[in-house]
């Protein structure tokens, strides 16, 4: 009898352990099954990782709850290093441990400005400084704010190209404004107007920059028909055309200029404008004439000898 009682107790205990194990397995299985809610989480994570820009997901308490792989690559910090941090802690991390760099916290912006992107410089984990554009969007469920989605776009390469482009532009401007040859852009019509002129054009013509943009170009020519012929020749030809013509300066002085015109066309062949280069060769012409006169004066003396 005692043995039977002991056996029954062992069976009861074994059944109890089995039921506990089954309950644990069922609970584990339920956690592993992609139910509707878990499926939404999986889908959201996949969407976040599919972004080509860096993404931070914040909860309503401004704590990082997820980041995508692109952000890890962008700033050098792993998901483990970022998840759980507040935006303040994140700002300190990305501004190199609290350096006095202005950080515009997107979560401090009012709702109407939350979607307005802004740029900020941040440090990568290796100390490299990059420029990012931050765009913050609220995450809502049934009109209830659940958190924020912050998208960080890396603008470093773009900014580098812009700086290079600006440097080239400044060099070009300096070159154009310091050469002694007049450079201009004008409308292609017979009664043309200057669109752009450099400083040398002011020195050559005697007119100010503002005056040159107002006058009719043909008023500079002693013989306006020379300009008409030059324009027709330029627009019909495929290469730059150069002529020597007489110009009238603002004070009425006549000068001789070397005028080179280039026609600029649109993709469909339309004449857009004329680019030109103007050089005052009056002194050169005077020198050439003086040499010719000198040679002619020497010829009779040579014959006499």
**DSSP letter at 43?**
H
pLDDT per position as a tens digit, 184-220: 999 987 778 999 999 999 999 999 999 999 999 999 9
pLDDT score at 45: 59
Structure tokens at 281: 């060769």
Start-end ranges of CATH 3.30.450.20 in the chain?
41-160, 179-280
CA-based nearest residue to 57, from 147, 132, 141, 117: 147
The Cα 148–Cα 62 span in angstroms is 8
**DSSP letter at 34?**
-
CA-to-CA separations, 4 to 11, 14, 17, 177, 290, in angstroms, rounded: 11, 15, 20, 113, 142
pLDDT score at 50: 67
Residue ranges of the chain with per-residue pLDDT less than 50: 1-2, 6, 21-22, 24-26, 28-42, 98-104, 106-113
Structure tokens at 301: 């003396």
pLDDT score at 115: 58
pLDDT per position as a tens digit, 225-272: 888 888 888 888 766 678 999 999 999 999 999 999 988 888 888 888
pLDDT score at 174: 72
Q: Does domain 179-280 have CATH number 3.30.450.20?
A: yes
Structure tokens at 138: 């609220």
User: Thinking of the domain 41-160, which architecture would CATH place it in?
Assistant: 2-Layer Sandwich (3.30)
The Cα 75–Cα 123 span in angstroms is 7
What lies within 8 Å, CB to CB, of 56 at 6+ separation is 64, 66, 67, 71, 82, 90, 148, 149, 150, 152
Judging by DSSP bridges, how do beta strands 64-67 and 182-186 pair with one another? Answer: unpaired
Angle in degrees, CA 159, 164, 165, rounded to 5: 95
């Amino acid at each position: 009898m005692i043995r039977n009682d002991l056996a029954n107790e062992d069976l009861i205990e074994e059944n109890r352990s089995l039921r506990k194990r089954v309950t644990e397995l069922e609970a584990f299985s339920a956690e592993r099954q992609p139910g509707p809610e878990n499926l939404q989480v999986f889908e959201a994570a996949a969407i976040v990782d599919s972004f080509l820009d860096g993404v931070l997901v914040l909860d309503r308490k401004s704590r990082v709850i997820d980041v995508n792989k692109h952000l890890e690559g962008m700033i050098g910090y792993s998901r483990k290093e970022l998840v759980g941090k507040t935006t303040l802690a994140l700002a300190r991390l990305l501004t190199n441990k609290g350096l006095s760099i202005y950080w515009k916290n997107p979560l401090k912006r009012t709702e109407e400005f939350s979607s307005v992107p802004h740029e900020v410089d941040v440090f990568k984990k290796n100390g490299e400084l990059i420029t990012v554009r931050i765009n913050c969007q609220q995450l809502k469920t049934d009109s209830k704010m659940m958190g924020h989605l912050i998208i960080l776009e890396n603008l470093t390469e773009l900014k580098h190209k812009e700086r290079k482009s600006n440097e080239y532009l400044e060099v070009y401007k300096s070159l154009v404004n310091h050469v002694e040859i007049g450079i201009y852009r004008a409308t292609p019509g017979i009664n043309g107007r200057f669109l752009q002129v450099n400083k040398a054009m002011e020195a050559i013509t005697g007119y100010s920059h503002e005056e040159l943009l107002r006058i009719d170009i043909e008023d500079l020519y002693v013989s306006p028909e020379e300009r008409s012929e030059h324009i027709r020749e330029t627009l019909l030809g495929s290469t730059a055309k150069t002529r020597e013509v007489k110009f009238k300066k603002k004070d009425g002085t006549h000068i001789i200029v070397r005028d080179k015109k280039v026609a600029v066309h649109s993709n469909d062949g339309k004449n857009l404008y004329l680019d030109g280069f103007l050089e005052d060769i009056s002194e050169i012409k005077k020198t050439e004439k003086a040499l010719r006169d000198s040679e002619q004066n020497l010829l009779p003396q040579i014959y006499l000898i």
